[in-house]
Amino acid sequence: MQVAVAKCGDYERESIYFAVTSLLDNLGGMSHYVKPGMRVYIKPNVLTRASPAAAVTTHPEVISAIARLAGEAGAADIMIGDCPGGFQSTKEESILRTYQVCGYADIAAREGARLVVNTHKVSRSVPGGITAKSFELVDEMVGADLLINVSKAKTHQLCTFTGAVKNLFGTIYGHDKSMYHAKYNRPSMFNQFLIDVAETAKPGLNIMDAVVGLEGPGPPPDTSKSRCDARFRIALCSRCNCSIPDRMEANRRDAAGLGA
């Protein structure tokens, strides 16, 4: 697995575009992943309905840069969406409102992408899985030609921090996530479960928004204890020859001072 890191001091549109372009150039460029005519699904971390300034969700300008680069590489259909357990409602209008508050509606219109309300599921097997041998996943995500997994750097009670592997929890369909959280309620069990999910979802590219991270007992953030921490000011990217973006996770832990 190859990993790239780029400095980025703010969320200005051109700063983010330059940083994401630099990341991908070190891994062969977006054209290495996106071929003309491809259907590309960009999956941010959309934990809940929150503004970008709260640092709870993947910043929309990061998603915008990725969508722009995918379009420049010739993608025929660029989809943006998530299916987290934190949505206040599974109704389409509520999900679209969440996308709007998080800033994705504006950037989707700007970049010629479309917001996806994930309503279809598909069963995918993971023969080597330890916690399960199959999962019901969001069809729109895993059915795309390329799944780009775009996580947000945050601390997490069960995983120490939320990164690329944890972000793939959002590929689990609907309210099944609540059941899995209850079933695998210890760190060792939950982390093995996430590895099995990642082996099933198989993203082709992982990008982490670590320009500003969230520190505290998430998720969801306890506003009395959580805080945004801008000291990292980086973005990370990993090219997946396998499905587990573990090297990128390790690099992010090092940057955060969290250890192994």
Note the pLDDT of residue 253. Answer: 46
Conformational region of residue 114, where left means phi above 0, alpha means psi within -120 to 50, and beta covers everything else: beta
What does DSSP say about strands 205-215 and 234-239: parallel, antiparallel, or unpaired? antiparallel
How many structural domains is the chain composed of?
1
Q: CATH code at 121?
A: 3.40.50.11440
In a domain, 254, yes or no: no
In a domain, 220, yes or no: no
Residue 132 makes CB contacts below 8 A (sequence gap 6+) with 126, 193, 196
Residue 88 structural domain: 2-215+230-246
In a domain, 222, yes or no: no
More confident residue, 182 or 82: 82
8 Å CB contact between 55 and 152: yes
pLDDT at residue 255 greater than cutoff 60: no
Tens-digit pLDDT profile for residues 45-92? 998 899 999 888 999 999 999 999 999 999 999 999 998 765 555 678
